[in-house]
Every structure is written in structure tokens, then in C-alpha cells.
Structure 1
Amino acid sequence: MALHQTLSSCSNSTNRRRFLAACGVGFFGSTAGCTTIVNSLADLALGDVNLFNETEDVLTGTVTITGPGDETVLSESFDLPPESDDDDTNENNDEDGVTAYEDVWTVPGTYEASVELDGDSEVQGESTGSESISIEDTSEEMLAITFGMEEVDDPIDFIVGESLSDFAQA
């Protein structure tokens, strides 16, 4: 499934109902060619760093982001279920394939992003990934770390953008 379909069921529980309610409007906007509406709705659910599991397996591991001054600005374990194919996603269904982290970017500059999957977790034979990324606008730019995204060559990929459509065009 494509990344934009993955977002139809965001895992951020505090924004979940608001996001799901808005998805109908977002879907309508996307079919009408209005990416501005879709991007605005996605901004409600996305954070500075977003993990997207487009595989069929639960992935567990750790995401680490090191800032321009070599300080760790994010180090979190995750248990990321696969994306849901169920169009009837509800609050009790955690199978949505997305995890978001807020307030990661401290200053503009180059950040080191890395992911290490635990134990038997792997994506097309890969269990680690890392990339140097440049964040110029800390209030607008986001990082998508994708697992098994069909549209990219790497099984674990890092995409910087300002909107959902930037991620989908990678």
C-alpha cells in the first residue's frame, strides 16, 4: 500500500478521533485534487519524526536522532504494528502502522537518524538503517522513516519533507 493510504489510520491516540473524522474530508479533497486539504489534515496527526510500517509484520526496535551538537534529541523504543487494511479502524484497533514523535528538532542543522530493529524484526533482510538529514525549518520540516515502502528502493528509507505529499512523492 502507498504511504498516503497508511496515514488513513494514524496511531497518535490523542488526535485519533479528530484525524479519523477528518479523513472523510481528506479523502474527498484528495479525489478532487486538493492536496492542500489532505496535507493540512495530515499535519494534525504527524510529528517531527514519523515511522511508517508498510510491511505485513509487527516491527520492534529503537529510533535514535542525534542533533547538530551531537546531543541525543530522540531515543525511543517502538512496537510498530503493520498498516491496517481494515477501512473500519476504531479506537481499539492499534493496527495502523504509524507512530509519530513531536518536538524533536531543536535547531536548524544536520541530524543523524538511525533505526535498529530488534530480534527477528527485519525488512527485506535489513534490520538497521541510518542517514544524515538536513533540517532547515524546524517548525515545518518532518522526517518519515519508512519500512517496506514500495515506491522507494531501500527497505528502510528516510525522507524529509514539509507535507504528506512530499513523503508520497519520494
Structure 2
Amino acid sequence: MVLHQTRSQCSNSTNRRRFLAACGVGFFGSTAGCTTIVNSLADLALGDVNLFNETENVLTGTVTITGPGDETVLSESFELPPESDDDDTDENNDEDGVTAYEDVWTEPGTYEASVELDGDSEVQGESTTSESISIDDTSEEMLAIAFGMEGVDDAIGFIVGESLSDFAQA
């Protein structure tokens, strides 16, 4: 018997692992209150580039990252559901407002990150934005692109950090 998974099945499996890790982050964070535990568990769910939808709407668009040598290292369309307030995430919303992309950073340097939202998708009137970011440690640093996040000056904010708590402190 030959077993194989299609790309879609692998993606669903990865999404479910990320969702379970995010649930674990919430559980341990609320019961233990320990930043180290929360950050360790979040590392399982996060990638090099992470999209966080803090709005109440589904957002669709494209994220593009250009590397230090002007090569495109990430260009992906996304459909990002809103963050769920309840613990009951259904199968169509298993990512709970988060999408992660791994293996983006090719070398230390300055990267150009841009987001273009489709059609009716916008956050506080913004539908496109870009920012130059600096990545010094490609194995540790991550980028959060936060849509409608409280405490961030821009409607679509870019935050570089090494852990989930770095993103929350922005």
C-alpha cells in the first residue's frame, strides 16, 4: 500500500499543528504566566513571516518580500480569517487569524516587505503598504505583519522580533 499526501493535505496538517500550538500557547500563558513557556510554544506555530488579523473581517491579498539582492523571496496570496474570540474554531477557520511562512530569510540584510489587499479588503482605509526591515539573525528573527493591531501606529504594522512577546510589546 502506497501512502502519500497532496500539498493541500500537508498544508492542512501544518495549519492544524499551528492551531494546536497556538491553543497550547494560550493555555500555558493563562495558567503559568511564564513568558519563556509561551515563547517556546509560539515558536512551533510561527514562521519567518507571520500575518496577524486583529480586525473583524476576512482579509485577502498578497504579501511580497524582496531580499537584500533584490530577489523575491516570498510572494504569496492569502485569505486571512479574523481572530476568533471563542475557543471554538471550526474547520473553515482553523488558523484563528494567523498565517505563517517559513524559510523566507536567505541572508542577513535589508528586506522590503509589502502587502496589497484585494478589492474590498482594507484596514482603517489602508489597502497597500510597504516597509524596509532589517534582519540580522536569519535563524532567530521573525517578521509580524499586523492588521489592525492595538498599540501599533499604522493600520498595517511591521514588527521584527525574536519571539511572540516581542510582537506583543510593540
TM-score range, shorter-chain basis? 0.7 to 0.9
Which secondary structure state, in structure 1, belongs to the residue aligned with residue 134 of structure 2? strand
Contact kept? 1:64, 1:114, Cα under 8 Å: yes
Q: What are the superposed Cα offsets for residues 121-144 of structure 1, whole Å, 9 maximum, x if unpaired?
A: 100000011110000000000000
Following superposition, the deviation at residue 90 of structure 1 comes to 4.7
Contact kept? 2:19, 2:96, Cα under 8 Å: no
Contact kept? 1:58, 1:79, Cα under 8 Å: yes
Which segment is superposed worse, 160-169 or 93-102? 93-102
Cα pair distance change 1:109/1:8, threshold 3 Å: same
Contact kept? 2:17, 2:45, Cα under 8 Å: no
Which secondary structure state, in structure 2, belongs to the residue aligned with residue 119 of structure 1? coil
Higher relative contact order (CA 8 A, sep 6+): 1
Cα pair distance change 1:7/1:157, threshold 3 Å: farther
Cα pair distance change 1:168/1:88, threshold 3 Å: same
Which segment is superposed worse, 37-46 or 79-88? 79-88
Following superposition, the deviation at residue 96 of structure 1 comes to 1.1
Contact kept? 1:9, 1:20, Cα under 8 Å: no
Which segment is superposed worse, 87-96 or 5-14? 5-14
Following superposition, the deviation at residue 68 of structure 1 comes to 0.2
Cα pair distance change 1:21/1:160, threshold 3 Å: closer
Following superposition, the deviation at residue 13 of structure 1 comes to 4.2
Following superposition, the deviation at residue 20 of structure 1 comes to 2.0
Task: State how far apart, in whole Å, the 2-side matches of 1:34 and 1:167 are.
Answer: 16
Which segment is superposed worse, 147-156 or 89-98? 89-98
Following superposition, the deviation at residue 150 of structure 1 comes to 1.1
Which segment is superposed worse, 145-154 or 1-10? 1-10
TM-score w.r.t. length of structure 2: 0.86
Corresponding position: 1:135 with 2:102: no
Question: Which residue does 2:169 correspond to in 1?
Answer: 169
Following superposition, the deviation at residue 34 of structure 1 comes to 1.0
Contact kept? 2:48, 2:102, Cα under 8 Å: yes
Q: How does 1:74-93 map to 2 (within 5 A)?
A: 74-93=74-93
Following superposition, the deviation at residue 28 of structure 1 comes to 3.1
Task: State how far apart, in whole Å, the 1-side matches of 2:56 and 2:111 are.
Answer: 29
Which segment is superposed worse, 3-12 or 142-151? 3-12
Which secondary structure state, in structure 2, belongs to the residue aligned with residue 12 of structure 1? helix
Following superposition, the deviation at residue 165 of structure 1 comes to 0.2
In structure 2, list runs of 5 or more residues that go unmatched: none
- Structure with the greater alpha carbon radius of gyration: 2
Q: What are the superposed Cα offsets for residues 27-65 of structure 1, whole Å, 9 maximum, x if unpaired?
A: 334543311110010000100000000001111110000
